[in-house]
């Protein structure tokens, strides 16, 4: 996962292991003082075991 900041915008890129991880990363970014925008471009990478 990569986090970049430009002014008041945070961009999250890379992969997360679950939807929970993706959403949690965005929640943490939103709580950062001075951040007004979050671009959550994380992709979910998980495997199904049958």
pLDDT, tens digit, 9 for 90 and up, residues 1-43: 999 999 999 999 999 999 999 999 999 999 999 999 999 999 9
Give the chain's end-to-end CA distance (angstroms, integer).
Answer: 27
pTM for the full predicted model: 0.84
Is the Cβ–Cβ distance between 21 and 48 less than 8 Å?
no
Reported as a pLDDT band with limits 50, 70 and 90, residue 50 is: low
Return d(Cα 41, Cα 11) in angstroms, integer. 7
- Which of the two residues, 44 and 47, has the higher pLDDT score? 44
């Amino acid at each position: 996962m990569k986090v970049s900041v430009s002014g008041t915008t945070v961009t999250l890129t890379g992969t997360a292991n679950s939807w929970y991880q993706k959403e949690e990363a965005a929640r943490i970014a939103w709580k950062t003082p001075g951040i007004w925008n979050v671009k959550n471009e994380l992709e979910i990478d998980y495997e199904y075991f049958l």
